[in-house]
Amino acid sequence: MKLNTLLLSTALTVTSLFTMSAHADNSTRIAATSALGSVAGTAIGKQMGGNTGAMIGSAIGGAGGAAVSTNRRDRTAAAIGGGLGGVGGYTVGKNVGGTTGGYIGAAAGAAGGSVLGKKVSEDRHYDQRKYNKKYYKKHRRHNH
């Protein structure tokens, strides 16, 4: 019980420090805030609803942490990745290493998922710009 309280207070403190300067939008910041949000959500969810609550909390915390620290264009993809990674990591970690393993798994899963989601979104935007540039160059005469 004391360990959960300590983890929760530490996670909330560090998360608030990251969210104050969240405009830098780099992968390390996104991974850290998503991981800390997932740990905080897991701890709160576990206190409120046991293992099911912890799974829901890890998903919400991971998604929230990723959304706070990602730019507007890539926010949705990073939040989805952080949420899915958090709940998946918690489930695997809980089965392998108990409660502490669940916290570690939630943090690792949310961090990796949010960065992966951001990268997929950036690649999609790049491909779309590349297609638009090629299309408009080819059909320039017909657009006037």
pLDDT digits (tens, 9 = 90+) for 4-60: 555 555 555 555 555 545 445 588 889 999 999 999 999 999 999 898 999 999 999
pTM (2 d.p.): 0.72
Supply the DSSP symbol for 22: G
Query: What digits encode the pLDDT tens for the residues 59-85?
Result: 999 999 999 888 888 999 999 999 999
Residues 116, 34: Cα–Cα separation, whole Å: 12
Q: Give the Cα separation of 8 and 21 in Å (integer).
A: 21
